[in-house]
Amino acid sequence: MQRIKAKKLTLGIVGGGPKSWIGHVHRISSRFDNQYEIVAGVFSRNVNISKKFGKNLGISPDRCYSTYHEMAKKEAKRKDCIMVVAIMTPPSSHQIIAEKFIDKNIHIISDKPFAGNLEQAKKLHKKIKLNKKIKYALTHNYSAYPMVREAKKLVEKGKIGKIEYINVEYVQDWSSGKNITTKNSKKFLKWKINNKIVGTSAVLNEIGSHAYHMAIYISGLKGQTIFADIKQVSNKIKMDNNAQVMINFNNGAKGMFWTSVMARGGVYGLRIRIFGSKGSLEWIQNDPNYLKFNPSKGAVKLLERGFFNADFSKKFSRIKFGHPEGYLDAFANIYREFAYSLKYKSKKRYFFPNEDEGLETAKFIAACKKSSKKKKWVKI
C-alpha cells in the first residue's frame, strides 16, 4: 500500500444524514485532529435532502451525490478523488457499499457491525484481504477509550495473570418508557424492526457486537463455543431485544454476556469485568476515565486516565487528567490512528479495530442465533 502524502485526507461520507445522530458523531470526530476534510457524500436516499444537507456542510454541489453507486463511479474518475469513505448506514448495507469503494481502491472507515450477517461478513472480509491497496477500520469506538487500552496493555503485560472469567453487560432502553405494540413499534424502533435492514439480530448487531468485541479486544482471546438465549419483543414483533450468552474461550476461560435494548431505565450501561489468576480489571463506560485494578494480593487500585499510574493511557488522552474525556474523543482516536496508518511509514502498532475483528464478531452473532434456536451449545 502506498503512503498518502497529503496534509489532510479527503473524506467522503455515505449515510449519516440530517436525522442521524451517529452521522453527527462521525463528522465531528473526523475533524478533531485536523486530519480529514469532508469533500463529498450521499447522505439520504431522498436526493433533495441529500444534496441540501451536503450543501449545508459546505460540500460542492457536484460532489453531493444521489447514490453511493454514483459517488464511487464519479469520484474514481476525478484527479482529486476521495482518499477515504466513511460508511454510516444500517448494518445490512455495509458490505455492498464498502465493496463498491474497495473496487475503486478507496480506504474504508465503517460504523459497526462489520456486516448484516455472516455470509456478507465473509464476502467483505475476503474482498478486503484481496485488495492490497486499501485499509479498513471499524468504529467499535469503545475500544478507543484510553482506559480500555490501558486495560488491554495490563492484560498483555500479565498483570492479572491467566484470564479465567469475563463478564460483559451492555443494556439500553429503546422503548422510551412506552409499551411497544404493533401500532407504535415503527415509531419507536423504526428500521430496527426490519430484519432485512438490521441484519441477523437487532440487539446483537447493534450493541451485542460491542460487548463481544470488547471482550476479545482487551483479553486477546477468541470464543470457541457458546450457549445463547435470545428474546424477541413479542410474537408479532420479531425483533431480538435481549440476549444472554454463556461462552467458552480458547484458553479455557469462561464468559457471561448480557445485552438488552428493552431494559427499562437502562442508559448505555456498558460494563466489562475480567478476572485472572492474579487479579481483575473493571471498566464502566459511564465512568470512562477510571479503571479498577484489583490484584489478588494487595489493595484495590483505581487507575485514572492520563495519570502517572496509567502511563499507556497517556498516548490516547487529549486533555490533562482530572478533566473527563468520553465518547467523541474515543471515536476521534480511531479516525486519527487510521489517518496516521495511511500517511506514515512506521513499525508503530495501531490499535483501531479492523476487518479481522469484524469477521470474528459476525461469527459470534451467527453462533448466538443458531444456539438460541437449537437450544444447545454450538461452535463459533
pLDDT for 161 equals 98
Cis peptide bond upstream of 113, omega within 30: yes
| Per-residue burial over 81-106, b = 16 or more CB atoms within 10 Å of its CB, e = otherwise | bbbbbbbbbbbbbbbbbbbbbbebeb
What tens digit of pLDDT does each residue of 197-210 get? 999 999 999 999 99
- Confidence category of residue 114, pLDDT binned at 50, 70, 90: very high
pLDDT digits (tens, 9 = 90+) for 154-193: 999 999 999 999 999 999 988 777 788 888 888 778 888 8
Q: Determine the pLDDT at residue 237.
A: 86
Mark whether 101 and 198 lie in a shared domain: no
Regarding whether 208 and 301 lie in a shared domain, the answer is yes
Q: What is the pLDDT of residues 71-105, one digit of tens each?
A: 999 999 999 999 999 999 999 999 999 999 999 99
Cα separation, 132 vs 117, whole angstroms: 24
Query: Tell me, what CATH number does 55's domain have?
Result: 3.40.50.720
Do 55 and 105 sit in the same domain of this protein? Answer: yes
Residue 339 lies in a domain: no
pLDDT at 324: 87
**Contact between 270 and 214 (Cβ < 8 Å):** yes
Angle between helices 355-374 and 118-130 (to 10 degrees): 160
Mean pLDDT (whole number) for 358-370: 98
Q: Is residue 345 scored above 80 in pLDDT?
A: no
Shared-domain flag, residues 233 and 361: yes
Q: Residue 345: inside a domain, yes or no? A: no
- To the nearest whole number, what is the mean pLDDT of the chain? 94
Q: CB 76: neighbour CB atoms within 10 A?
A: 15
Are 133 and 23 part of one and the same domain? yes
pLDDT band at 295 (very low <50, low <70, confident <90, very high): very high
Cα angle 135-137-83, degrees, rounded to a multiple of 5: 50
Last residue of a domain, one of 122, 141, 160: 141
DSSP state of 374: H
Residue 104 in domain = yes
195 pLDDT more than 90: no
Domain count, the chain: 2
Whole-number Å distance between alpha carbons of 125 and 127 = 5
Domain that holds residue 37: 9-141
| Residue 337 domain flag | no
In this structure, the answer to whether residues 284 and 218 fall within a common structural domain is: yes
pLDDT band for position 348 (50/70/90)? Answer: confident
- Asked if the structure places residue 237 within a domain, the reply is yes
Q: Contact 15/89 with Cβ under 8 angstroms?
A: yes
- Name the strand (E) or helix (H) holding 118: helix 118-130
pLDDT of residue 264: 85
User: What are the phi and psi torsion angles at 94 (to 5°)?
Assistant: -60, -45
Residues 106 and 24 in one domain: yes
Looking at 87, 114, 141, the residue that finishes a domain is 141
Q: Can you give the pLDDT at residue 265?
A: 84
- Residue 151 confidence class, pLDDT cut points 50, 70, 90: very high
pLDDT of 332 strictly over 90: yes
Please tell me whether residues 183 and 48 are part of one structural domain. Answer: no
- 195 located within any domain: yes
Q: For 111-217, where are the E strands, in sequence order?
A: 136-138, 163-171
In a domain, residue 217? The reply is yes
Q: Which of 141, 168, 195 is the last residue of a domain?
A: 141
List the beta bridge partners of residue 10: 37
Cell numbers linked to 368: 448466538
Asked whether residue 133 falls in the same domain as residue 159, the answer is no
Q: What are phi and psi of 305, to 5 degrees?
A: -55, 130
- Say if residue 232 is in the same domain as residue 127: no
Answer whether 263's CB lies under 8 Å from 208's CB. no
Please tell me the predicted confidence (pLDDT) of residue 177: 73
Percent of residues, the chain, with pLDDT higher than 70: 99
Q: Which of 139, 259, 120, 247 is nearest to 202 (CA)?
A: 259
User: What is the amino acid identity at position 341?
Assistant: S
The reply to whether 162 and 254 lie within a common domain is yes
Cell numbers at 209, concatenated: 457486537
- 169 and 152 co-located in one domain: yes
- pLDDT of residue 4 exceeding 80: no
Strands 84-88 and 9-15, how do they pair? Answer: parallel
pLDDT digits (tens, 9 = 90+) for 211-268: 999 999 999 999 999 999 999 988 888 899 999 999 999 999 999 999 999 888 888 8
What CATH number did the domain enclosing 248 receive?
A: 3.30.360.10
Q: Is residue 303 part of a domain?
A: yes
Which of 115-119, 145-149, 177-181 has the lowest average pLDDT? Answer: 177-181
